Structure 1
């Protein structure tokens, strides 16, 4: 399967993407972006934005409470606005609590959810959920891929942990083909488990 995936180029305006290889956050984000690129462009899976959309909805409601408090206090200065301010402040913190619970227990570390559509369009989609972990000041990047079969709803998971040094050259350029091969290997191992069962 890995040999049949499309070739991709990682570029912005036909220039290779370069990052500061000593910045752990930039390294993790660029690897996450590369995973997204491989899953959506190489395998032609459809990205599901539901997790991010829900987070944005919670944040938007929180901002509405803050804006309401600001405008109402401007139009009706304190102490006249005391009751509205109290309701908005309490509501804002309730929404922030909901956001924290949502990101901790629902979104978790999922940065990508993609759907593998059934070619005939009859069976439910197979779902690929992808997480990544990289500790601060550490060069070890962990990629976790979960595969949920659309028909049986059986979940399988596989992961790898490697030093980011194998995917970047000394100038901070991502070696996309090397990284893509590792992702494809993980992807194909989950599909081969399905065939073995």
Structure 2
């Protein structure tokens, strides 16, 4: 009989190509908006500013305004849902008083929500805290655009408590930065993220140091 030479099996590990770790794409996803819509342009900038101060400038976001609005909103919805449910399972004549109470509570809470946004939150889109040399600083960012204007205004407010020997000095500085949306968006509505970040860093440096642009 003819002998058959056995060939050793190749291990599965040898057959497979070496594993390569996925490289993280350091480039951010492009931000594209309708550049003929001022609301879309402002919203895109507002959203990126919040992301910038948390991820790039390393501030810890303070969500007090958002939390207050959420509580008021949830309470208003809760009264509305309870009033609707109670009116559904209870005869009309018996449910009238409770339904009226729920309706009044709903409108009061919604009114408080609007007043809080108008009086306290105003145009604030970001509030954040940071620690530098054992001193705590709080930055508040407000943004606005005038009607039919492509100028985007960023208002920086920087407040800190600085320890000096045995005393504490309160530092409060404010700076307004204004540019056209055209500086950051091309004709296709694509944001130049790097350029926008450069301007944001410039404004942050000015508010920290107090040195205005081109000032020697």
Provide TM-score, normalisation by structure 2. Answer: 0.78
C-alpha distance in 2 between matches for 1:169 and 1:138: 17
Query: Which residue of 141, 161, 170 corresponds with 2:187?
Result: 170
**Which residue number corresponds to residue 119 of structure 2?**
105
Deviations 1:11-66 (A, max 9, x none): 1xxxx121111121111111112212221121111111111011101111111110
Distance across 2 between alignment mates of 1:144 and 1:51:
18
Aligned partner (choices 131, 145, 155) of residue 156 of structure 2: 145
Q: Which residue of the partner structure matches residue 36 of structure 1?
A: 50
Q: Distance in 2 between matches of 1:88 and 1:37?
A: 38
TM-score, reference length from structure 1: 0.85
**Number of residues of Structure 1 aligned to a counterpart in Structure 2:** 180
What are the within-5 Å matches in structure 2 for residues 28-177 of structure 1? 28-118=42-132, 122-123=134-135, 125-151=136-162, 152-177=169-194
The answer to whether residue 28 in structure 2 is matched with residue 10 in structure 1 is yes
Q: Cα offset for 1:10? A: 3.4
C-alpha displacement of 1:172: 0.6
**SS of residue in 2 equivalent to 1:81:** helix
The gaps in structure 1 that reach 5 residues or longer are 1-7
Match of 1:4 in 2: none
Specify the structure having the higher radius of gyration (Cα): 2
Structure 2: state its 5+ residue gaps. 1-25, 163-168, 212-216
SS in 1 for 2:126: strand
Alignment-derived partner of residue 5 in structure 2: none
Shift of residue 9 of structure 1? 4.1
Closer, same or farther: CA 76–111 of 1 in aligned 2, 3 Å: same
Do the aligned partners of 1:66 and 1:89 also contact (CA within 8 Å) in 2?
yes
Stretches of 4+ aligned residues off by more than 2 angstroms: 135-138, 150-154
Q: Cα RMSD between the aligned structures?
A: 1.7
Find the aligned partners of 1:76 and 1:50 in 2 and give their Cα distance.
38
Question: CA contact under 8 A between 1:127 and 1:150: conserved in structure 2?
Answer: no
